[in-house]
Amino acid sequence: MNFTTIQIIAFIGAVAAMAIVFGLGFYEGLRKGKREAFDIGYQRGLHAHRYELTQARRDIESAKHSLTISRLNAAQALEATTAELDDCRAKLANLQTRVITEDDATQLVAMADKLSLAANVFAGMGSVDQATAARKLSITARALFDRYWHTLPVMEVEVMA
């Protein structure tokens, strides 16, 4: 899987932003916890302070676990999106190739038709040699079209939901 520079920079930026937000939240939580522990310490004594400290540590561990899960989900979503983008690019390239080859086949048919018309005009003017040469070229162009068309792979069209 190939990551573009923009995707790498965006991922690094997202991780940095998460780290900053986590750090600010952690710092604010510590400050609030200390303030509450100080207030509770006067009201309930040392036991209440230890309980609040233990609870704060549990909350921190829970937040770390949640952050890890969020990072894993983000990485999986990025990987799935990148794989889908690669598939779409491959389908687009295939369709572009198909359109170009169909245009080439259409041009061969148009040339064969014009050569056939030229053969009829030459025959009407009494130029039998030119009419015969134009008919041979028209038949050759039709044969080229048939060979060309039969070598093209059959395109399966996918209905997107």
- Residue spans per domain, the chain: 5-151
Higher pLDDT, 53 or 57: 57
Choose from 26-30, 32-36, 44-48 the range with maximum mean pLDDT: 26-30
Amino acid at 63: A
- Report the predicted TM-score, pTM, of the whole model to 2 decimal places: 0.41
**Distance between CA atoms of residues 136 and 45, nearest Å:** 108
46-125 vs 128-151: helix axis angle to the nearest 10?
A: 160
Over residues 52-76, the mean pLDDT reads 91
Structure tokens at 97: 């190739």
- Please give the span between the terminal C-alpha atoms of the chain, in angstroms, as a whole number: 25
